């Protein structure tokens, strides 16, 4: 047990990746992967998750990235931020692509489609040799909406657990015992609420994605898992970060720029549907209205005429910055902040979803170079 899923990612990378080692990780992907690989001096090798594949991982492409320097492969399903999932077939093919290489570890986070609750997707563990080189990790944050309780767990080889536990002991000491007792209660208790919440998330996702697809310049694939929507916004002509900031500051709608999850996130926004249907509908209306006011001129020019659209956009933005500064300030000081506070409150009881991850360790079986 660790205080959250993140420390397991942090310590596993710290323990296993040396300077110059290559680590393959999903991009867009949870930001800690790339930051930690860079922090330890490793080489971050992105495996792009593409919209045209419904953000599923291209196993052939992954195979082409594996070489003698690859130390770790990071997988995440259902995937944050895209909602893509890995199928059992994908995982078996990944295991095959890795083959019997000695250097590799896989480090997995949350490999469970939301509609398969209770039936864990661990086929790679049945492939001879994989159990020893796979770290499976998950947490209580999403399934049991226990984000603030800080609880996560990693399943790994005992000798590796020894090293990672040492890093943990010398930093956080331990996971608080009373939260662990709450975690046991969550695991042993009636799981009906988890299934109920999964159904609720599906309902919200369907409404929100349908709503996004009605907004000019937005197009959104139906995510197969997770509680996120990851719309393509390239047809608005706006860069992701700028649009995310404008939606927060001017429309009072909080979302993240796709680029918060890596370079392949440009052209996308990430919305969470861990909020009430009422608020999600309100967000859709606000985006719709904002787009109506701010993107109408650009919209007709964007398709097929990018340079002109961009020039127009620059001019429009400059004009708006001058004309609308008072409105902008008002939103900044009241609506946007209030919205964020509300959102934080709403997030707590509703944030149920799993994010299993796998780290496939392609390293040597011995840990003599470890900490
Ligand atoms: C893929 C993924 N990994 C890890 C985490 C962090 O989980 P925890 O709260 O257990 O540290 C998240 C949270 O959003 C996540 O989406």
Q: Among 7, 77, 141, 353, which residue has the most ligand 1 atoms within 8 Å of its CB, making it the best to mutate?
A: 141
What pLDDT is stored for residue 76 in this prediction? 92
Q: Average the pLDDT over 2-14 and give the result.
A: 94
200 neighbors 186 (Cβ within 8 angstroms): no
Least confident of 126-135, 192-201, 334-343: 334-343
Q: Average the pLDDT over 158-179 and give the result.
A: 93
Ligand 1 contacts CB of residue 150 (under 6 A): no
Ligand 1 atom with minimal separation from the 355 CA: 1
What pLDDT is stored for residue 79 in this prediction? 92
Least confident of 188-202, 246-260, 340-354: 340-354
Ligand 1 contacts CB of residue 250 (under 6 A): no
What pLDDT is stored for residue 325 in this prediction? 29
Residue with CA at minimum distance from ligand 1 atom 14: 80
Q: Among 1, 30, 75, which residue has the most ligand 1 atoms within 8 Å of its CB, making it the best to mutate?
A: 30
Residue with CA at minimum distance from ligand 1 atom 7: 5
276 Cα–ligand 1 center, Å:
21
Share of the chain above pLDDT 70, in %: 71
Q: Quote the mean pLDDT of the chain.
A: 80
2 Cα–ligand 1 center, Å:
12
138 Cα–ligand 1 center, Å:
8
6 Cα–ligand 1 center, Å:
6
What pLDDT is stored for residue 104 in this prediction? 52
Higher-confidence position of 305 and 152: 152
355 Cα–ligand 1 center, Å:
7
Fold (topology level) of 193-350: 3.90.1150
Separation between Cα atoms, residue 249 and residue 339, nearest integer Å: 11
Ligand 1 contacts CB of residue 147 (under 6 A): yes
Domain residue extents for the chain: 6-188+354-362, 193-350
pLDDT at 326 over 60: no
HEC string for the chain:
CECCCHHHHHHHHHHHCCCCCEEEEEECCCCHHHHHHHHCCCEEEEEECCHHHCCCCCHHHHHHHCCCCEEEEEEEECCCCCCCCCCHHHHHHHHHHHCCCCCEEEEEECCCCHHHCCCCCCHHHHCCCHHHHEEEEEECCCCCCCHHHCCEEEECCHHHHHHHHHHHHCCCCCCCHHHHHHHHHHHHCCCHHHHHHHHHHHHHHHHHHHHHCCCCCCECCCCCCCCEECCECHHHCCCHHHHHHHHHHHHCCCCEEHHHHCHHHCCEEEEECCCCHHHHHHHHHHHHHHHHHHCHHHHHHHCCCHHHHHHHHHHHHHHHHHHCHHHHHHHHHCHHHHHHHHHHHHHHHHCCCCCEEEEEEECCCCCCCCC
237 Cα–ligand 1 center, Å:
31
Q: How confident is the model at residue 133 (pLDDT cuts 50, 70, 90)?
A: confident
Q: How confident is the model at residue 73 (pLDDT cuts 50, 70, 90)?
A: very high
Share of the chain above pLDDT 90, in %: 61
Ligand 1 contacts CB of residue 130 (under 6 A): no
Least confident of 21-35, 104-118, 314-328: 314-328
Separation between Cα atoms, residue 233 and residue 129, nearest integer Å: 43
Least confident of 71-85, 189-203, 285-299, 344-358: 344-358
The pair of structure tokens assigned to 201 is 């998330």
Q: Average the pLDDT over 235-241 and give the result.
A: 96
Ligand 1 contacts CB of residue 139 (under 6 A): yes
pLDDT at 264 over 80: yes
Ligand 1 contacts CB of residue 5 (under 6 A): yes
What pLDDT is stored for residue 180 in this prediction? 96
pTM: 0.79
Fold (topology level) of 6-188+354-362: 3.40.640
Higher-confidence position of 311 and 362: 362
Ligand 1 atom with minimal separation from the 7 CA: 11
Ligand 1 contacts CB of residue 123 (under 6 A): no
- Residues 75-130 have pLDDT tens digits of 998 999 999 988 888 888 888 888 766 555 666 654 433 333 333 445 556 666 67
Higher-confidence position of 30 and 92: 30
Ligand 1 atom with minimal separation from the 139 CA: 10
Higher-confidence position of 219 and 326: 219
């Amino acid at each position: 047990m660790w205080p959250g899923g993140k420390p397991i990612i942090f310590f596993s990378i710290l323990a296993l990746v040396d300077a110059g080692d290559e680590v393959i990780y999903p991009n867009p992907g949870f930001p800690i992967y790339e930051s930690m690989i860079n922090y330890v001096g490793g080489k971050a090798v992105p495996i792009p998750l593409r919209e045209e594949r419904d953000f599923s991982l291209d196993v052939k492409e992954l195979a082409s990235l594996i070489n003698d320097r690859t130390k770790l492969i990071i997988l995440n399903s259902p995937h944050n931020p895209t909602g893509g999932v890995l199928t059992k077939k994908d995982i078996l093919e990944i295991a095959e692509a890795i083959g019997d290489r000695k250097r590799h570890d896989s480090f997995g986070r949350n490999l469970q489609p939301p509609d398969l609750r209770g039936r864990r997707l661990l086929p790679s563990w049945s492939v001879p040799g994989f159990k020893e080189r796979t770290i499976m990790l998950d947490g209580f944050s999403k399934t049991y909406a226990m984000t603030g309780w800080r609880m996560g767990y990693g399943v790994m080889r005992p000798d590796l657990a020894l090293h990672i536990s040492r890093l943990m002991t010398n930093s956080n000491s331990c996971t608080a015992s009373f939260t662990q007792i709450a975690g046991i209660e969550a695991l042993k208790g009636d799981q009906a609420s988890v299934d109920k919440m999964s159904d609720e998330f599906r309902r919200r996702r369907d409404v929100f994605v349908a709503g996004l697809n009605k907004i000019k310049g937005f197009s959104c694939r139906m995510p197969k898992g997770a509680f996120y929507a990851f719309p393509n916004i390239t047809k608005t002509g706006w860069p992701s970060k700028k649009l995310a900031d404008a939606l927060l500051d001017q429309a009072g709608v909080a979302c993240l720029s796709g680029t918060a999850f890596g370079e392949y996130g440009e052209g996308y926004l990430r919305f969470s549907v861990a909020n009430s249907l009422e608020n999600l509908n309100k967000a859709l209306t606000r985006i719709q209205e904002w787009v109506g006011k701010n993107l109408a001129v650009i919209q007709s020019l964007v398709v097929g005429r990018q340079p002109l659209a961009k020039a127009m956009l620059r001019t429009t933005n400059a004009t708006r910055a001058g004309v609308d500064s008072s409105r902008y300030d008002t939103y900044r000081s009241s609506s946007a902040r209030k919205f964020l506070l509300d959102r934080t409150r709403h997030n707590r009881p509703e944030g149920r979803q799993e994010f299993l991850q796998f780290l496939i360790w392609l390293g040597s079986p011995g840990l003599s170079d470890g900490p």
